[in-house]
Amino acid sequence: MSRTRNITVFVLAMFFLPGLANALDFRTVDFQTSRLFNEQKWDSVVFLGKEALHDDIDYFYLRQRMGISYFHLGRYFPAIEHLEKAMKFNSSDLLTREYLYLSYAAAGREDKARAVSPSINKETRQRLKIRYSVFDQIDAEGGAIFSSENKIQQNPFLMGKDSIAGEKDVYRNSYYAHLGVNLNIGSKISVYVCYNYMDFLKVKYFQNAEPGNALVKIADSAWGKQYIYSHSKVANDTSFQYHMTQHEAYLSVSVVLPKGFRIRPAFHFLNVSYNNINVHHSQQTIQDTARFLRNPPRYLFIPFVKITDSYSQSDTSFSNYLGSLAIDWDIKIFRLTLSGSISNLNARTQTQGGLSLTYFPLGSARFYGTSAATAFFEGGKSRLIFQQTLGGEVLKRLWIEGSLIYGDLSNANLSNGYLVYNITDTFNYGAGATLSYYFSKHWGISFTYQFFSKESTTTYMLPNPEGPGRPVPATTISNYYTNTLIGGIKWKF
């Protein structure tokens, strides 16, 4: 079929159009495009239509024929462009409305298809089985995050060379569940509401090193006695395992506007609960016998540093909020998105702004890509986050999508505030893939894998150089990684 179309276009270009090169006018274009359209020679209609537009010949039927031809060629985004132009010439034409609806739906722009559906007559809606209810779609998914630090270490090394204590808060395996629903509020407004649940299993390690002040022996001499001590450090290890749970509610509104624009305000609420564990270091100087002198009889003393640790636990719960806004602009095969957000995660204020470009180089949703950059600001510091996504239909009803993320995501958000990375560890980079299969137009399943490289912080305590008192904290960084597996199901009414 494709070879026949190419031959048709070649013959038309070689023999027919050269003869029209100096005589291409409205009457000729209208007659030939009408004939080719009725013969369903879609490639030829597009070829001749482009030549006509190049010569400033532009009218309703030319745009309509080109749009419908692009639709039958499976190039839905050019079809949308020409059918939208045709609607400007004649907004009441039923055939143009029908194919514009079909092109929006085939291109994956369900919101635009829903917006144009009320203008289609009742008979056509029944024939195309267009039915929109308030409940548009339900999706559910769940999975687990497997951490390379999952095993409880018996004696982790938490101290520097000269430190006296150390502590580390470790993320082990985590579990995730999600339930969402999309609602249609009129033809141009939709609302997405979802609930997320996270259960993080964590372990907090503590280690201290008390100076060894054990008396080894007492040596006699002519002048008296020498008390000899061992000064090797004695390490003490303590760990507490606990759960950190997180309940989330997300609300996003999508409003379709004229001229290819769409706005999407969103709000994300998070409530975090866990058992907070704190260590209290105390440092004091004590004295013990160093020597006994016989003449005159007296004792001499030596000072020792004694470290004492105590622990306290308290139930902790707090709530965080995030507000986000995204503005989309559809231009031919491109979608430009400008987004921004403000949040108060982990007792800090974050702001971020992003720019992304989604593109459909084949003129349909069968292959697409998104390139995005996000600027993140928190506490006078800033950083950049980069994303790249590619996806498409590899087999009938089977879709695959792969993504790469580079940059620190801690306390940042993606996807218009839907994804929030509020864990305290640092992100280095991530990669992932999603495989989706649709059994029908109503339901499908998906499987997602994600990999993240992260950094955790170990805090250790140094002796106070000014003498007995509160130890001085310092930090060191260690790397670990996580693997995420998620399965999901989606039902469309």
**Sequence ranges of the domains in the chain:** 2-128, 135-209+236-278+318-492
Tokens 């990999």 correspond to 451
Superfamily (CATH) of domain 135-209+236-278+318-492: Outer membrane protein transport protein (OMPP1/FadL/TodX) (2.40.160.60)
- pLDDT above 70 covers a percentage of the chain that reads 89
Give which of 66, 238, 29 is closest to 153, Cα–Cα. Answer: 238
Structure tokens at 238: 């303590």
Distant-in-sequence, close-in-space partners of 388: CB < 8 Å, separation ≥ 6: 369, 370, 371, 372, 403, 404
pTM comes to 0.81
Contact predicate 190/184, CB 8 Å: yes
Give which of 322, 325, 329, 388 is closest to 349, Cα–Cα. Answer: 322
Contact predicate 33/26, CB 8 Å: no
169-184 tens-digit pLDDT: 899 999 999 999 999 9
Q: Can you tell me the distance from the alpha carbon of 31 to that of 105, in angstroms, rounded to the nearest whole number?
A: 31
Give which of 389, 349, 350 is closest to 372, Cα–Cα. Answer: 389
Greater pLDDT, 469 or 432: 432
Greater pLDDT, 213 or 64: 64
**Alpha carbon distance, N-terminus to C-terminus of the chain:** 35
Please provide the DSSP assignment of 425-464 as one string. Answer: SEEEEEEEEEEEEESSSSEEEEEEEEEEEEEEEEEEEEPP
- What is the reported pLDDT for 292? 84
Determine how many CB atoms are found less than 10 A away from the CB of residue 291. 16
> Mean pLDDT across the stretch 49-77?
95
Q: Can you tell me the distance from the alpha carbon of 444 to that of 438, in angstroms, rounded to the nearest whole number?
A: 4
| Residue 79 binned pLDDT confidence (cut-offs 50, 70, 90) | very high
460-489 tens-digit pLDDT: 777 776 665 567 777 888 899 999 999 999
CA 68 to chain centre: 37
HSE, side-chain direction, 13 A CA sphere, residue 465: 2
Greater pLDDT, 299 or 449: 449
> Mean pLDDT across the stretch 250-259?
95
CA 245 to chain centre: 20
Superfamily (CATH) of domain 2-128: Tetratricopeptide repeat domain (1.25.40.10)
pLDDT, mean over the chain: 88
> Mean pLDDT across the stretch 395-415?
96
